[in-house]
Amino acid sequence: MIRKLPSTSTTTRKVRALKESVFKYKTRKRTLGRPIRYKPIPLKPEDWDKYRGETIAFVDDQILAHDKNLDVVLQEVWDKYRKKPHQVELFIVPPFPRMIR
C-alpha cells in the first residue's frame, strides 16, 4: 500500500487559514456582556389582561398610547407627545394568554 504524503500547497493553506483566524479573533471588538436586543416592556403581570390584543406605544417605561388600531395609536402619540413612529417602541399584546412565552 502506497501512502501519499500531503502536498505542500494544502499544508500552506491550512497554516495560512489558522493564522488568518487567529488574526480575526484578536482584532474583533470585545464587549462586556451581551447587548439587550429588545427593551423591556413596561407591563406588570396584572396589566396584561387590560391591554389584550392591543398595540401599545411606549418610551422607556412610560406607555404613551394603546388601541387595537395602529393608525390610532400613532396619531395619538403624535398629537399628545409629538413623537414620530421611529422614536417610540411598539408592542402588540397577544390576544390570548397561551400566546405569551
- Residue 83 domain-assigned (yes or no): yes
**Which residues form the domain of 51?**
45-99
Number of domains comprising the chain: 1
Which one has a higher pLDDT value, 6 or 57? 57
Residue with cell string 489558522: 18
pLDDT of residue 43: 86
Count of CB atoms situated within 10 Å of the CB of 17: 10
In a domain, 30, yes or no: no
Q: Does residue 77 form part of some domain?
A: yes
* 90 lies in some domain: yes
| Between 30 and 89, the higher pLDDT residue | 89
pLDDT band (50, 70, 90) for residue 11: low
The residues, any chain, with a CB within 8 Å of residue 37's CB and separated by 6 or more, are: none
Alpha-carbon span 88 to 10, nearest angstrom: 54
Model confidence at 4: pLDDT above 80: no
Which are the contacts of 88, defined by CB distance < 8 A and separation ≥ 6? 57, 58, 59, 64, 77
pLDDT band at 96 (very low <50, low <70, confident <90, very high): confident
pLDDT average, residue stretch 9-30: 58
User: For residue 13, is it within any domain?
Assistant: no
